[in-house]
Amino acid sequence: MTTAPKITRRPTGATTRRVRKTVTRTHAGRSYAVPDLAFWECPACGERVYDRDAIRQIEASSHADQKTRRAAAQ
């Protein structure tokens, strides 16, 4: 398994910062929150970059594949 690269600067040169926030999203008309999510954010433009762990945390909190998860649990 390879190590993910460290993200410290955007390609355009603005410095990103590692932040920890509650992120609210909407999927199929339903809102959900991901509390205490750590990700990289540009203070100048608001662009967000999510690493593998953050993506997994978002997926675990979303309603996107609840049917799949329920079927797998049965």
DSSP conformational letter for 13:
S
The distance of Cα 41 from the centroid of its chain, to the nearest Å, equals 11
The distance of Cα 68 from the centroid of its chain, to the nearest Å, equals 20
Instruction: Tally Cβ neighbours within 10 Å of residue 40.
Output: 20
In which domain, by residue range, is 49 found? 17-73
Does 6 fall in a domain?
Answer: no
Does 8 fall in a domain?
Answer: no
Q: How many structural domains compose the chain?
A: 1
Does 29 fall in a domain?
Answer: yes
Biggest alpha carbon distance in the chain? 49
- CATH number, domain containing residue 51: 3.10.20
Does 50 fall in a domain?
Answer: yes
| Residue 31: C-alpha distances to residues 15, 41, 61 (Å) | 30, 22, 10
User: pLDDT in tens for each of the 74 residues of the chain?
Assistant: 566 666 666 555 567 889 999 999 988 888 999 999 999 998 888 889 899 999 999 999 887 666 555 555 55
